[in-house]
Structure 1
């Protein structure tokens, strides 16, 4: 069994599933768009980290953090 890849304590596959689920929800309920936006930024950061691209990962993490604080 393969180890679960984690990003900031969250399983990346779970993050991908949540991203897709919320994307479908947004089509029915646009009020969920801020949740999708947050998941989108977090997933970009996780995937950049997995791709071993530290600059893109740091930028994506900064973007996600900035949006979470606003």
Structure 2
């Protein structure tokens, strides 16, 4: 399993747009890699102010999503 750490800051409006059809998050990882992933993997972290924090995304050798945890 591989990991990538990323800081995510999505406002409530951005989260609402995700519910309405925008299904991908584009981000730059802490190590500089660019990535795209389904916003639905972050649903469990939605708060009244959107989704904010540093997350560790775990994925398989063939780049399939495994799990996500909040670090900060």
TM-score, normalising length: structure 1: 0.28
Larger % of strand: which? 2
TM-score, normalising length: structure 2: 0.28
**Which structure: larger Rg?**
1
Larger % of helix: which? 1
